[in-house]
Structure 1
Amino acid sequence: MPARPFTAEDFTRRMRRAVTQAADAGLAGVLVTPGPDLVYFTGYRPTAITERLTMLVLGAGHDPHLIVPALEHPEAAAAPGSAAVTITDWKDGVDAYAMVAGLLDPRGRYALSDSAWAMHLLGLQEILRESRYTSMTSTLPMLRAVKDADEIERLAGAGAAADAAFEEILSVRFAGRTETAIGHDLADLLREHGHSQVDFTVVGSGPNGANPHHEMGKRVIRDGDMVVLDFGGLKDGYGSDITRTVHVGEPTEEERSVFKVVKRAQQTAFEAVRPGVTCEDIDRAGRQVIEDAGYGDYFIHRIGHGIGLTTHEPPYMVAGEKQPLVPGMCFSIEPGIYLPGRFGVRIEDIVTVTETGGRRLNNAPRRLRLVT
């Protein structure tokens, strides 16, 4: 079933929430530049991101204003959220920064998209010398972190497509083929199952699996290899990200043992998900299992990251992150053990926080699957 298109009402609701959160944080407003933030608030994704200023200005006391280059006005007007904003264009030779400055409090403090170009920030500061700016992620980390029901179902659809791609890759031959060949197969399968964009295909065989972000290379996969498969992209505008570890032929007892530790850590972290616990609690729950098994030094990354319009975004499940979980948050749980020069194991699902616990958005079996 096709995803329900987002409407002007959806975008209006998001922009109002942003203004409210900004005010609660002591900010005068929010400045949004091309990238996932602009897509989230307006549905507008410029064909090209250039030196010409495009900026959505959100603040109390005035309607949302989208400032765009004149030559891109038709594209902006065709965006699904265009009816919720006032679009003002500027022609080459006009000072676009002055246009934006006219909408701002000269002494205000604003949250700015992380993807904003430095030249645009500096251009505003040159005109409004007493204005101040802060990263949107650091000041308003919850702005896109809590998903509504439609967003969660898009993420669930992306997750189901990734699950299907994994099930199909199990039937191809691994031994005697390169990691790159398997990676290309995975990318093709994601597209066949509805992904419009493939962001990554990590294929780490044998010792390469001990590098969490190895991606894929020319190494020929051999019988006896453990193979880490981590892949994802965008479907209906929202991300997928799944990791499963397979084995070519029969694994050794040690390999089975390490796999069981990672599987238990992933399950333990998932069972810890519920409203009110902190992000670092999720990391701690899974990490403790691995440390108790004696592999703590070989779990070398955080246990998870948020996902939505991009495959990595807040919240982050990491030590020191005190943000409590709330219903609608979506993030990965992906513990791993990486034994240098030998092999690695990682298991990853995307989960969302419900009123009572957690819901997995990936449901491909997590047992150790054998391939040929």
Structure 2
Amino acid sequence: MDVTPKSEIEKRISSFQEKLREQELDGGIIVLNSDMFYFAGTVQNSYLYIPSTGDPVLMVKKSLRRAQEESSLKNIVPMKHPMEIPAILASFQYANLKKIGLELDVLPFNNYQMYRKVFPGAEFSDISPAIKEIRMIKSPYEVELLRNALQVADRAFSAIPTFLREGIPEIELAALFEAELRKGGYSGSCKMRAFNQDFFYGNLCSGSNGAYPSFFDGPVGGKGVSLSSPQGAGWKKIKRDEVVYIDYTCVVQGYTGDQARIFCVGELTPHMTKAFEDMLLIQAEILKGIKPGTPAEEPYLLAVKIAEEMGYKDYFMGYKEDQVKFVGHGIGLELDEWPIFAKGLKNPILPGMTFALEPKLVFPEGAIGTENSYVMTEEGPKKLSVTPEVITYIK
């Protein structure tokens, strides 16, 4: 398996240490798997201490062997219990820590209480915004990993016509599609930072199931296979002449590509065909308006304006009361990275950001639209998705 290049890890840590010094912190402790992989190149059960200056220390509960094989960090040591952390750090001359950064956006309260016992008298600060700021700008290495993930997705989408047929249950079609993704290296785990946003590979809905709402913060729901997992593909059999909406992530070597494509056994109505073409038009208008420095809310505000002018006020990005309030999101090690294209978010869109843009409509008879992944460049967004943006018909 490929390891993260040492030069990548060093640049990431250096950027983070600048943020630590800006916050006047002695250092930060990383435990979330996504952040751990970003800064250490491994997700073994560990605690990563990054000092404001000096070499990081990776303290590993399990598996030490794999951590040493996978990470290029210099200091990788065994640890049995978090109470050992101060002594381990003191052995590397990191003693009497008074100001420590933690990932407070995701850290459970009980874990926070544990840190208060481990470091009595220390002051804790949130380092999550700093981490997200660093991670939102991708290196050329990361962009290539995303590009590779979308190549895998393309091969899986291209295989759909070989097994989509009238009468196949959504869940069976999903399983066959997911098998193609797995054969290409999909890890089987799509990570989200948001609390309780459980997410599987993606979303496959046919006909009216595309309008069936769910808890998930996305425009399309789906019944799912049970009430314990009420989202995505269900037991419904796919009918002739109805829309088959397939919106999936593809995570390869940790990095998450995201795209949606539309299929149909038979023929869609002129209404649905026009709706699809209109979403391509909105996508094109959004892309024309994104320049380096464009506030993150502008793509959303523009998309809503055009959709309403087209008569889609009640259908854009969800059906009526189940509409979501964004039209795009950052992608990387997590599906919900910065930037988020939503009203009120004025942070600038910058070169190196990677994002998925997803103008979609949800009608009672089904969901339709498009989604593609992009990297922001000095000239504007550059498309990473390669699958043709057409409605694929199976006769």
Mapped partners of 1:119, 1:96: distance in 2 = 18
**Structure 2 match to 1:204:** 205
Q: CA deviation at 1:228?
A: 0.8
Contact 1:106/1:128 (8 A) holds in 2: no
Mapped partners of 1:25, 1:284: distance in 2 = 34
**Partner-residue secondary structure (3-state), 2:163:** coil
**Structure 2 match to 1:87:** 76
Say whether residues 1:61 and 2:53 are aligned partners: yes
Rate the CA distance shift 1:21–1:169 in 2: closer, same or farther, 3 A: same
**Structure 2 match to 1:366:** 389
**Partner-residue secondary structure (3-state), 1:310:** coil
Number of residue equivalences: 358
- Counting only pairs closer than 5 Å after superposition, residues 320-331 of structure 1 correspond to structure 2 as 320-331=344-355
Q: CA deviation at 1:159?
A: 0.8
Mapped partners of 2:138, 2:344: distance in 1 = 23
When normalised by structure 2's length, the TM-score is 0.83
Unaligned runs of 5+ in 2: 191-200, 213-219, 223-231, 318-322
**Structure 2 match to 1:253:** 270
Rate the CA distance shift 1:30–1:291 in 2: closer, same or farther, 3 A: farther
Say whether residues 1:316 and 2:304 are aligned partners: no
| Higher mean C-alpha deviation, range 142-151 or range 295-304 | 295-304
Rate the CA distance shift 1:100–1:294 in 2: closer, same or farther, 3 A: farther
**Structure 1 match to 2:5:** 7
| Higher mean C-alpha deviation, range 6-15 or range 223-232 | 6-15
- Counting only pairs closer than 5 Å after superposition, residues 80-159 of structure 1 correspond to structure 2 as 80-83=71-74, 86-91=75-80, 95-99=83-87, 103=94, 106-108=97-99, 110-112=101-103, 114-126=105-117, 127-134=119-126, 136=128, 138-159=129-150
Q: CA deviation at 1:27?
A: 4.5
Mapped partners of 2:308, 2:156: distance in 1 = 32
Identity %: 23
**Partner-residue secondary structure (3-state), 1:61:** coil
Q: CA deviation at 1:207?
A: 0.7
**Partner-residue secondary structure (3-state), 1:241:** strand
Q: CA RMSD in A?
A: 2.4
Rate the CA distance shift 1:24–1:10 in 2: closer, same or farther, 3 A: same
Contact 1:187/1:201 (8 A) holds in 2: no
Q: CA deviation at 1:114?
A: 4.5
Q: CA deviation at 1:269?
A: 1.9
- The residue type equivalent to 2:180 in the other structure is L
Mapped partners of 1:144, 1:313: distance in 2 = 8
Q: CA deviation at 1:65?
A: 1.5
Rate the CA distance shift 1:91–1:253 in 2: closer, same or farther, 3 A: closer
When normalised by structure 1's length, the TM-score is 0.88
Contact 2:242/2:267 (8 A) holds in 1: no
**Partner-residue secondary structure (3-state), 1:195:** coil
Q: CA deviation at 1:151?
A: 0.7
Q: CA deviation at 1:261?
A: 1.9
- The residue type equivalent to 1:201 in the other structure is G
Deviations 1:313-355 (A, max 9, x none): 222222121111111110100011112x321113100100011
Mapped partners of 2:280, 2:359: distance in 1 = 8
Rate the CA distance shift 1:222–1:188 in 2: closer, same or farther, 3 A: same
Rate the CA distance shift 1:185–1:148 in 2: closer, same or farther, 3 A: same
